[in-house]
């Protein structure tokens, strides 16, 4: 099917997803469940990757520039990398593999086992009922995860500098403070929110329009991750161009 067909159907899907929930209490409970599924269950992987990435960036920076630039450059580079790119872009890309595939396969399975038909027959607006809590939960929790990733990555950089004797803590601390722009954090959080919406909605879209059986659910899950990652990269370029130039 053509690209235009998918674009049109995606926007119709989003219009249906953003309709007012039919029952506030059910919506609130679903959103809490999604916050747990998307946020709390992703905390471990986010923390682990951020710690390793912060430490690795510190080591690489020391290796590249050691001896001919000031030692505080290590802290500066770790901070800038974590805030500008790793936490707000790479973490959502990783989450699109975990959260996106989970959303697509969950909704896809509901589609092929007629659970969505059951909702529709009852008079439940299935798209809004299933998708809006996931969108809201992703929008709320992704920025928290990204801030946690920033803090842990920068912290891990400090730890490795001390443990591997790459620089003194005072130099590292100076590096993470020098030329700090609060707008960089705002920029990171803005793009995180956009990526959260892309990942949750594109994954839900692919899951909802699954037809067939287990194989198609698997395909939808793969498509959800691939399209989410591509769109995140495109959006990253556009947002960066708009906000940083």
- Binding residues for other proteins, per CB under 8 A? 22-23, 25-26, 109-110, 113-115, 117-118, 120-125
Q: Give me 135's structure tokens.
A: 């969108």
Q: How near is the Cβ of 110 to other proteins at its closest, in Å?
A: 8
34 class by beta-carbon count within 10 Å (0-12 exposed, 13-18 middle, 19+ buried): buried
The secondary element (H helix, E strand) that includes residue 121 is: helix 115-122
Distance of CA 105 to the CA centre of its chain: 18
- Indicate the residue among 124 and 197 with the shorter CB distance to other proteins: 124
**Which residue number, 114 or 230, has a Cβ lying nearer to other proteins?**
114
For the bound state, the minimum distance from the C-beta of residue 27 to other proteins, rounded and expressed in Å, comes to 11
Residue 127 or 232: the one with the smaller Cβ distance to other proteins is 127
Which residues, at least 6 apart from 119, have a Cβ–Cβ distance to it below 8 Å? Answer: 126, 129, 130
CB of 87 to other proteins, least distance (A): 31
User: CB 240 → other proteins: shortest distance, Å?
Assistant: 38
Query: Which residue's CB is nearer to other proteins, number 22 or number 177?
Result: 22
Q: Write down the least CB distance from residue 130 to other proteins, Å.
A: 11
Strand ranges, E, within 40-82: none
Q: Which is nearer to other proteins, 67 or 123 (CB)?
A: 123
Closest by CA to 74, choosing from 64, 87, 61, is: 61
The nearer residue to other proteins, 12 or 186, going by C-beta atoms, is 12
Q: Which two tokens stand for residue 54?
A: 């912060």
Instruction: Specify the residue, 20 or 215, whose C-beta has the smaller distance to other proteins.
Output: 20
Closest approach of Cβ 115 to other proteins, in Å?
5
Separation CA 28–CA 9 (nearest Å): 27
Cβ contact 108:206 at 8 Å? yes
What phi and psi values does residue 20 have, to the nearest 5 degrees? -60, 135
141-169: burial string, b at 16+ Cβ within 10 Å, e else: bbbebbbbbbebbbbbbbbbbeeeebbee
């Amino acid at each position: 099917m053509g690209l235009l067909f998918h674009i049109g159907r995606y926007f119709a899907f989003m219009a249906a997803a953003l309709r007012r929930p039919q029952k506030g209490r059910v919506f609130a409970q679903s959103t809490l469940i999604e916050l747990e599924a998307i946020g709390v269950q992703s905390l471990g992987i986010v923390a682990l990757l951020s710690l390793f990435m912060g430490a690795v960036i510190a080591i690489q920076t020391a290796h590249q520039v050691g001896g001919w630039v000031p030692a505080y450059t290590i802290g500066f580079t770790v901070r800038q990398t974590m805030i500008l790119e790793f936490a707000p872009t790479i973490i959502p890309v990783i989450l699109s593999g975990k959260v996106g595939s989970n959303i697509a396969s969950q909704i896809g399975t509901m589609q092929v086992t007629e659970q969505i038909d059951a909702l529709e027959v009852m008079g439940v607006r299935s798209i809004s009922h299933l998708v809006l809590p996931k969108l809201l939960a992703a929008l709320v929790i992704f920025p928290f995860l990204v801030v946690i990733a920033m803090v842990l990555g920068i912290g891990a950089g400090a730890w490795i500098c001390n443990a591997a004797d790459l620089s003194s803590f005072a130099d590292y601390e100076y590096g993470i403070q020098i030329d700090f722009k609060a707008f960089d954090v705002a920029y990171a959080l803005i793009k995180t929110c956009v990526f959260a919406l892309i990942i949750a909605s594109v994954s839900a879209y692919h899951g909802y329009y699954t037809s067939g059986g287990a194989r198609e659910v698997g395909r939808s899950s793969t498509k959800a991750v691939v399209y989410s990652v591509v769109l995140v990269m495109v959006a990253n370029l556009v947002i960066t161009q708009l906000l940083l130039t």
